[in-house]
Structures are given as structure tokens and as C-alpha cells.
Amino acid sequence: MSFYSIVHQISFWIILAFISSFIIRFILLMDPNKRVYNHTPGPCRVVSEKYKGTAGIHLVESQNRVYITYGYGRVFNMSTPAGIATFEVRKIDPTAQTQNPHIYDLTELRIHWNGYKNKSTFSPSGISSYSSAGRTLLYIIDSLNSCIQFFQVIDKTTISHRKAICDPEQLANLQDITVVGADRFYVSSLTFFNNRYLRIFELAMQSTIGKVYLYDGKELGVAIDKLASPSAIKYDSNRNLLYVSSFLNEVIRVYKVGKDLTLQLKTEISTLSSVVGIHIDKKSGDLWVACHPVLFQTILHYYNPHEKNIRSPSQILRIRMQEDGVSWVITEPYANDGATISSSHSLAYFEEQLLIGTTFGRLLHCDVLNPQIT
């Protein structure tokens, strides 16, 4: 056997092993043998079916109000109203015989666009806020326009557009946003590539070339490099921790945030489910996360958002950090096979109630009857 033919044989086997391992890893990634069963933490009801997408939810404790962005379906060519609505935070007694029928109402906010040109293609998803001295500012990811939109809350029913930061190159794949100060925030960018086919290739290879950007009030800079498909991002101001989830690697990275916003990786929480939305319970530090648990169904649903029969399961996990800060217990307060709500994308937990938004549709409200064990 000549030297050349040996090299040829070896390289053939190596390439074959590489391709086989890629195929197997890809099949496992698709979750072909995963099944989601239905269960709720208490009685639930659909709050709204009007909008094609309720992909961003954010609780502003100081105002006792939850902001919900609606209309994400515009990114996928769905015709839908788009904007921001609010849900009032109240203590609700789930055992009361009769409920005031308006406690689950959403209030659509009037937006003063102040001449902003691209308001008809506004397609909001992730949302965060900054409150100080009675003034609340909102920051919203606008996917179709590749922008981050800045708003100020005027009163209970009105918000005013301040400015937009846009960049069709860097901000084309934004997933989520979290505020660390006035006009200072982190945003997660799912993929490096913007081109449709290159993005699919990048995700299929489970590459680690995604980024988290930091806007420091003046300009956008790279805060974390070499991330694998970063999706949800949330800052815990009480504990100075930044949580960044990896959509495909199914983990949540925990960073300690220093005074000058330097980041130090503390630990990685393995969820074995793709996280797309994070809510932090300020008092306990618990993470409530919204997931897309079965990937092949998620993909089918994202490619066919108009199809009523192609649904994707929903899952809410609660990660309770233990006192030592480096271990946790995970419970699953809510799971649905897609029949009630499809593709859970965002959430908030307040006053023993859970509000869950989805990628292309309904908003669900649940009572949490046993919060100590849920």
C-alpha cells in the first residue's frame, strides 16, 4: 500500500466519522424522542388571542404593571397589529366565587411616534425598562427594522417614542434586551451571519460565534464574544448577575457583573430545553424561564406560523438558586403540548400569578396555587 493510499483511507474515515457525528448530534438536537405533557400550576385562561405574537413581557415593579409587546408575527409576514399593552398587577384570590371580569383586561398603549418613519414595520419582541424619579423608560427590540426603539412612559395609557438605534448589519438578529442603567443595556444577537442560508448553516453546526452587545449610552460595543446562539438575556440588579441563555446548547450562563460592567463567568445552568425568555423574581433571585422544549416542532412552527395545526409545545421552568449561589433546583410550573398555547416565548411572575406570551399568538394567565412547591 502506497503512502498516498493510506492517507487517503485515513482521511476518508475521519471525514466519515465527522459527518456521522454531525448527523447524530443534529438528530439528538431535534429532540425526536421528547414529549411534553400538559399540566398547570392552577386554573388558567387565555387573556388575548388578538395579536399574532406576544413575544416580550416585562414587569415594572414600581408601577405595579406588566408591559407586553405584541405583533412579532410581522417578522414572519403575518398581518397583525403591533404595539405595547399593559396588564395591571393585582392580588387575585383564585378561590373567590365571582371575579371582576376586567381583572384580566389588557390596555393597549397609545404611541406618540413623533414622526418616526418606520412605525408601520414595527415588530416588537424583547422589552426592558429603567425607572427613576417617577420616570420610566422602555427599550424594545424591533426585529424587522433591525433597531432598538427607545420610549418614555407618559401616563397610564400613553408612551412617547424617543429615538431608535438601528444597524442592519449588527442588529439584524437581536433576541432579547436587558437594562443595566439609564440608556444602558445588553442585547443578545442569536447569530453572526445575517444571510438566511448562512444563519441556518451556523445554527445547524451549533457554532459559537454569537454575541452579546452593550450599549453604554453613546455607542454599541461587544460585551461577550464566542457565544453559542445566545437567546434570552436578563440582569438581576439586586445581585449584580447577568443571565444569558444559549438556545441550542440548552444552558443559561451566569455572569457576575462588576462595577464597571466587566463580566466574569460564574457558572452554567443546564436546562436541557431551549430557553427564549427569562423573568427574575427580584426578592428570591429565582429565574422563571420560557422555553421551546422540542426543537423539531419549534422549527416546523416557525416555518409555518399561519398553520393552526402546526403547533409547538410550551414549557415554563423555575430555577431556584440555593443559598450557596452555585447550586439550584429546577421545577416545571407549566407545560403544554401546544394545544392551549403554542411556543411559549416570554413570561412574568407576580402576586402568585403567571403571565405567558407566545411567539405568534395567545397570551395566557395562570393562578399559581401552591407557590412554595411550584
Residues between 311 and 330 that touch another protein (CB under 8 A): 317, 329-330
- Per-residue b or e along 13-39, where b marks 16 or more CB atoms closer than 10 Å to that residue's CB: eeeeeeeeeeeeeeeebebeeeebeee
DSSP 360: S
**DSSP secondary structure string, 160-198?**
EEEEEEE-TTTTTTEEEEEEEETTEEEEEES-S--SHHH
- Residue placing its CB nearer to another protein in the complex, 31 or 236: 31
- Residue placing its CB nearer to another protein in the complex, 55 or 291: 291
Position 43 contacts another protein (CB under 8 A): yes
Task: Tell me whether residue 31 is annotated as binding.
Answer: no
Dihedral angle, C-alpha 268, 357, 238, 331, nearest 10 °: -50
- Residue placing its CB nearer to another protein in the complex, 140 or 294: 294
Among 8, 39, 90, 306, binds another protein (CB under 8 A): 39
Which amino acid makes up residue 134?
G
The three-state secondary structure class of 293 is coil
The full length of the chain comes to 374
How many residues in the shown chain lie near another protein by CB under 8 A? 34
Residues between 233 and 292 that touch another protein (CB under 8 A): 271-273
Task: Tell me whether residue 105 is annotated as binding.
Answer: no
Provide, rounded to whole angstroms, the least separation between the CB of residue 333 and another protein.
Answer: 7
* Cα–Cα distance list, 119 to 16, 27, 68, 149 (Å): 51, 41, 17, 10
Position 35 contacts another protein (CB under 8 A): yes
- Residue placing its CB nearer to another protein in the complex, 15 or 28: 28
Strands (E), 210-362: 210-215, 220-227, 230-236, 241-246, 251-257, 263-270, 274-280, 287-292, 314-321, 328-336, 344-350, 353-358
Provide, rounded to whole angstroms, the least separation between the CB of residue 84 and another protein.
Answer: 31
Separation of alpha carbons 88 and 106, rounded Å: 8
Position 27 contacts another protein (CB under 8 A): yes
Among 6, 7, 14, 24, binds another protein (CB under 8 A): 24
Position 48 contacts another protein (CB under 8 A): no
- Residue placing its CB nearer to another protein in the complex, 62 or 331: 331
Separation of alpha carbons 55 and 141, rounded Å: 10
Provide, rounded to whole angstroms, the least separation between the CB of residue 352 and another protein.
Answer: 13
Separation of alpha carbons 84 and 139, rounded Å: 11
- Residue placing its CB nearer to another protein in the complex, 128 or 374: 374
Position 371 contacts another protein (CB under 8 A): no
- Residue placing its CB nearer to another protein in the complex, 143 or 298: 298
Among 10, 26, 32, 204, binds another protein (CB under 8 A): 32
Annotated binding site: 127, 176
Annotated binding site for Ca(2+): 127, 176
Q: Could you list the residues that contact another protein (CB under 8 A)?
A: 20, 24, 27-28, 31-35, 37-44, 271-273, 317, 329-333, 335, 337, 339-340, 369-370, 373-374
